[in-house]
Amino acid sequence: LERTFSIIKPDATRRNLTGAINAKFEEAGLRIVAQKRIQMTKEQAGVFYGVHKSRPFYDELCEFMSSAPVVVQVLEGENAISKNREIMGATNPADAAPGTIRAEFAESVGENSVHGSDAPETAAVEIAYFFSGLELVG
């Protein structure tokens, strides 16, 4: 089984959508094997999204991600990384397929409710950024 890293973003925690989004993961066969609610500093969000440092939306993204609590989680399942990307939907909710999390819940291309790792290497780095080995039970 594969693991991926997920964040329920501030726009979704503000609107009390944690349970509704988790239901989507579980319906799709993804198991939530680790989960906690935290609030990042702008600096911590900046390191997490460091790959986007040179993008025009970077500052806005780091402000947003540190503006309210998020739920960080590890999801496990068959092809968890691609399955999660599929049920998240496209980055811009206007382009997201019907039934996806972003189609149903996202507010804009920036405030788009969820993050999901895009490859095994990034999943490993992202999980290790937020969770210790002791927090990762099967």
Annotation says 52 is catalytic: no
Considering only residues 91, 94, 99, 129, which one is a binding residue for ligand GTP as defined by CB under 6 A?
91
DSSP state letters, 86-136: HHH--SSGGGSPTTSHHHHH--SSSS-SEEE--SHHHHHHHHHHH--GGG-
Q: Is 107 in the site for ligand GTP (CB under 6 A)?
A: no
Which range touches ligand GTP (CB under 6 A), out of 15-23, 72-80, 106-114, 130-138? Answer: 106-114
State how far the Cα of 136 lies from the Cα of 40, in Å rounded to an integer.
Answer: 20
- Of 62, 57, 85, the residue nearest 96 (C-alpha): 85
Which range touches ligand GTP (CB under 6 A), out of 10-18, 19-27, 66-74, 111-119? Answer: 111-119
Length of the chain counted residue by residue: 138
Neighbouring C-beta atoms of residue 44, cutoff 10 Å:
16
Q: Is 46 in the site for ligand GTP (CB under 6 A)?
A: no
DSSP lists the bridge partners of residue 100 as none
Q: Is 116 in the site for ligand GTP (CB under 6 A)?
A: yes
Q: Is 112 in the site for ligand GTP (CB under 6 A)?
A: yes
Smallest distance from ligand GTP to CB 114, Å: 7
Catalytic residues: 115
Binding residues for ligand GTP (CB under 6 A): 52, 57, 60-61, 91, 109-110, 112, 115-116, 118
